[in-house]
Amino acid sequence: MKIQGIEITKINDTLWEIPKYGGMLVPGRIYTSKNLLDSTLQNDEAIKQVVNVAHLPGIQKYSLAMPDIHWGYGFPIGGVAATDLDEGVISPGGVGYDINCGVRLARTSLEFNSIKKRISKLIENLFKNVPTGVGAHGAIRKLSAKEIKNILVNGSQWAVEQGFGSDEDIIYTEEQGKLKGADTGAVSNRAIERGMDQAGTLGSGNHFLEVDIVKEIYDKEKAGVFGLFKGQIVILIHTGSRGLGYQVCDDYLKVLVEAGNKYGFKLPDKQLACAPVKSEEGQNYLGAMQAAANFAWNNRQIIMHIAKKTLMQTLNISESELDFHLVYDVCHNIAKIEEHNINGEVKKVCVHRKGATRAFPPGNNQIPAKYSFTGQPVLIPGDMGRYSYVLAGTEKAMDETFGSSCHGAGRVKSRHKALKMGKGRNLVAELKKAGIEIQAKGYRTIAEEMSYAYKDVSDVVDVMDKAGISKKVAKLRPLGVIKG
């Protein structure tokens, strides 16, 4: 069959391939279903972007896309590509503007029936205590440039040292909340300035903090290890590196456009601006990107601590009664140096995950020892009107997708179209009727983020589960949401 004039071949019910043609160095592969292909990709430029990414120098095996694929900057959102360290490149388009946008799940011992009458007040207080929206600031005091640089090096460890959480939180954060190659010297003064008053802030758009109920358990054994049970209250946080990360990306896109000309790259899209991984430009971007990623982990750590305190104060319960613990924190906009099996040889590669979540398998030494049997928790937020999922990574992901899974539902309506669809409707009342309390800075954000703007995340997750890339453990449903 052809989509957007591109030949695409069915391998099986969950995997489709774009054969190599023209300047493609590798084939393209898309994990999806026939239904998702027909309903969401016929008029989306994302498939062309899968083809474009396959032109990157040094790309290994495939240009990959997850079932939440949709159009993005350079790479499709939902795109994954690994490049050779010696002959390959690094591209900001394969990371995105919101460096280390990610998801954090915290569990409690609370059950829905014990707090259902307090949900509205809880959401009100969370909205009051966690700054949201464009330019949000003031969660903690304004930090100095020296303190920001400390965060850029130490990530969420900085927050824990300042009393925003515990050492246990570090254990259950991807990379223990810190990429060690962070280079503060590669981060501009403007980026540092933008981060000074944004630590512990949620931001705008699709970022959120939710109070959820565990609605379904699919794998009791793994759920037990994750500390999840049916009817349980959990907290889900989705945000990233805020203005600091945006500035890092913006700064380096300019640098890497020039680098592409310098190294003579001929790519089908200028948004794929890149530099050799080991070049000065590539190393500078990698160091700055890792620093921004550390800022994002610190950001989510502080927000989680504020949420914990708000729960205790609103519900008038003690820390032991709340029994609040981090399940895991994952990023889904990142480029990381990892070891993978490439055509029978284990080698280090630069894995770009643009709207894709790491999904490492049982026994992998990069995940907490507690999860050595289950595989890494994979956190997949849906839209605010339906549900989210907790999955577990598999060995098949390591074999086929460089240890990667989907990252969310995937947008199907532009923000402009979503806003138009919401015109004249009382969206807050619609959510309330569905049992969901919401607090947001304005109607516009609510309209842009309603369910009709997204694929059904259950369709996306089912593809990953059936493909064996990541397996379903639990389903969460929102009870209350705060957004910018």
For 100-123, the pLDDT digits (tens) are 999 999 999 999 999 999 999 999
Instruction: State how far Cα 265 lies from the chain centre.
Output: 29
| Tokens 């062309």 found at | 48
pLDDT the model gives residue 423: 87
Q: From 3.40.980.10, 3.40.50.720, 3.90.1860.10, 3.30.70.270, which CATH number describes the 2-483 domain?
A: 3.90.1860.10
Beta strands in 303-430 (DSSP E): 325-331, 333-342, 345-354, 357-358, 377-380, 388-393, 404-405
Question: Is the per-residue pLDDT at 427 higher than 80?
Answer: yes
pLDDT band at 135 (very low <50, low <70, confident <90, very high): confident
Mean pLDDT over residues 346-364, rounded? 97
Per the listing, tokens 């929206």 go with 133
Rounded to whole angstroms, the Cα distance separating 252 from 190 reads 13
| φ and ψ at residue 271, rounded to 5 degrees | -70, -10
Residue 40 in this model has a pLDDT that exceeds 80: no
pLDDT of residue 216: 98
Query: How sure is the predictor about 20, in pLDDT bands with cuts at 50, 70 and 90?
Result: very high
Alpha carbons 184 and 142: distance in angstroms, whole number = 19
Helix (H) or strand (E) run with residue 481 in it? strand 470-483
SS3 42: coil
- At residue 44, does pLDDT exceed 80? no
Q: What is the per-residue pLDDT across 452-467, written as a single tens digit (0 to 9) for each?
A: 889 899 999 999 999 9
CA atoms within 13 A on the CB side of 315: 27
Per-residue tokens: 43: 């008029």
Q: Looking at the predicted structure, is the pLDDT value of residue 414 above 90? A: no
Alpha carbon distance 386, 383 (integer Å): 6
Answer yes or no: is pLDDT of 443 > 90: no
pLDDT for the residue numbered 276: 98
Residue 129, both tokens? 């205590």
Closest CA relative to residue 329, chosen from 301, 351, 295: 301
Residue 138 banded pLDDT, cuts 50, 70, 90: confident
Catalytic positions are 407
Query: Which pTM does this prediction carry?
Result: 0.96
What band does 158 get if pLDDT is binned at 50, 70 and 90?
A: very high
pLDDT bucket at 19, cuts 50 / 70 / 90: very high
Which has the closest alpha carbon to 55: 40, 74, 39, 68? Answer: 74
Confidence of residue 438 (pLDDT cuts 50, 70, 90): very high
pLDDT higher than threshold 80 for residue 41? no
| Residue 314 C-alpha from the chain's centroid | 29
**In the prediction, which pLDDT does 445 show?**
87
Q: Tell me: the pLDDT tens digits for 197-231?
A: 999 999 888 899 999 999 999 999 999 999 999 99
Higher pLDDT, 457 or 423: 457
Position 87 pLDDT exceeds 90? yes
Res 4: pLDDT: 76
**Geometric angle at alpha carbon 97, from 91 and 100, rounded to 5°:** 90
Residue recorded with tokens 């899974």: 405
Q: What is the pLDDT of residues 232-273, one digit of tens each?
A: 999 999 999 999 999 999 999 999 999 988 999 999 999 999
- Output the pLDDT for position 38: 83
- Tell me what the pLDDT averaged over the chain comes to: 95
Dihedral sign of CA atoms 40, 44, 48, 51 in order = negative
DSSP of 89-144, one letter per residue?
EE-GGGT-SSTT-EEEEEEEEEEHHHHGGGHHHHHHHHHHHS--STT---SSPPPP
List Cβ neighbours of 424 (8 Å cut-off, separation of 6 or more): none
**Cβ–Cβ under 8 Å, residues 330 and 102:** yes
**Of 287 and 139, more confident:** 287
What does the pLDDT look like over 302-319, one tens digit per residue? 999 999 999 999 999 999
Give residue 356's identity as a one-letter amino acid code.
A
Residues 6+ apart with CB under 8 A from 177: 155, 156, 157, 169, 170, 294, 297, 298, 301, 329
pLDDT in tens, 160-206: 999 999 999 999 999 999 999 999 999 999 999 999 999 999 988 88
Residue 147 identity = E
Name the 3-class secondary structure at 146. helix
Pairing mode, strands 63-70 and 28-31? parallel
Segment 407-419 mean pLDDT: 89
Compute the average pLDDT of residues 410-436. Answer: 89
Cβ-contact 287, 153 below 8 angstroms: no
- Tell me the percentage of the chain whose pLDDT exceeds 90: 85
Structure letter (DSSP) for residue 11? E
Nearest residue to 473 via CA among 224, 296, 241: 224
In angstroms, rounded to a whole number, what is the distance separating the alpha carbons of residues 346 and 82? 13
Mean pLDDT of 15-22: 97
pLDDT in tens, 466-478: 999 999 999 999 9
